[in-house]
Amino acid sequence: MNVDILTLISALWVKGFCSSGICKIQVDQPVTAVFRLHLRVHITMSGSPAVVMRLVASAYNVAEKAGSIVRKVLHSGELGIVEKTGANDLQTLADRLAQQSICASLSRRFPKITIIGEEELPAEEIKDDLIENGHSEEILQKTCPAEYIGLKEEELVVWVDPLDGTKEYTEASRCLRHQTDAQILHKGLDTSQVQSTALWLLDNVTVLIGIAYRGRAIAGVINQPFYNYQLGGGEDLGRTMWGILGLGAFGFQLQEVPGDKRIVTTTRSHSNKLVTDCVDAMEPHEVIRVGGAGNKIIQLVEGKASAYVFASPGCKKWDTCAPEAILHAVGGKLTDMHGNAYRYNADVKHMNSAGVLATLRNHEYYISRVPKSVLQALKSE
């Protein structure tokens, strides 16, 4: 293929040129100016997609595998619940198996990446049926943003929450078990309300895989294992959404809360006076209390809420890395209560100690409404 000098200059500017091997340059259409990089100049080494694209493509299938594990454990009825620090900090067999699956699958394919998972698990041999070797061809067909083309495995940090919304997951399991017991004892008893509650709780559950580069969340994958339950039998359960900064986000329909309506989503199980005071200070027209950081960001990008407000140090990096990347990819913002960005380097502390404030639009308005008492209580990192 003939490549003109302007194309080469553009490629050099994006890539810093290839340090070894032969660069294959593909051009969708003629380049007429050095700085017209939006014409999608693709640069690959020996035709292979960029590392970050391969990692996201793999994480997509891995997240779907983890979602199927979460469903399977729930259907078994044997959750294997362990209290970590208390009744509101639980771990289940699904958490353990899903994390093993995610970490083992990604580390086998990308041995130089750093993976940080929520669960502290003993080192043990991972069963073959937990390994996912597939990837999304659709993602590999996308154009890698220019600034990420040359990233190396060892430069990437992956933050994993194998089951975000564990409390809601265990509550849903209890509801379903009680429904079954009631039906056995009282044939013909209407237990639809119990089932409805259980399924609503399962909406809160997500699998989160976030990817960071130089401390910044640049890509994320979110799987909702129980999405589609409203459609009844015969429909495939679950969905997976993903996003990369500079490329966009996929797997959902982006929507905004209509007009100037302020709908705040916040915690349903980790509230306190500081959280309540901060939510009230936003002067919301409506407050939605749900579980899971991933679920709350989904509410923002699907137009069910305009701000996620959590003035407490309860959230951690594996809760926010993937959701933040997807939110940022569609123009939203996630910060602490001071308006400062969180860092996702491998050596940072795991706790988001200054709370979380996330919005799709009008972030500065919500930051301006944070009470001084909250800012004094939650020190920025």
- Element (H or E) spanning 163, and its range? strand 156-164
User: What's the rounded Cα separation, in Å, for the pair 133 and 114?
Assistant: 18
Concerning whether 128 is annotated as a catalytic residue, the answer is: no
129 is in an annotated binding site: no
User: What's the rounded Cα separation, in Å, for the pair 286 and 283?
Assistant: 9
Considering the candidates 7, 143, 166, 266, report the single residue annotated as catalytic: 166
User: What's the rounded Cα separation, in Å, for the pair 363 and 23?
Assistant: 42
Considering the candidates 7, 92, 95, 203, report the single residue annotated as catalytic: 95
Concerning whether 166 is annotated as a catalytic residue, the answer is: yes
164 is in an annotated binding site: yes
What's the half-sphere exposure (Cβ side, CA atoms, 13 Å) at 210?
Answer: 35
Closest CA relative to residue 337, chosen from 289, 292, 281, 263: 281
Q: Is 237 helix (H, G, I), strand (E, B) or coil?
A: coil
118 is in an annotated binding site: yes
Paired residues of 23 in beta bridges? 45
115 neighbors 162 (Cβ within 8 angstroms): no
Closest CA relative to residue 170, chosen from 328, 292, 17, 11: 292
What is the CB neighbour count within 10 angstroms for residue 347?
A: 8
Residue ranges in the chain assigned as alpha helix (H): 5-15, 51-76, 93-109, 137-140, 166-185, 192-202, 273-281, 293-301, 317-329, 363-368, 372-377
Active site residues: 95, 166
Binding residues: 118, 161, 163-164, 319
Binding residues for Mg(2+): 118, 161, 163-164, 319
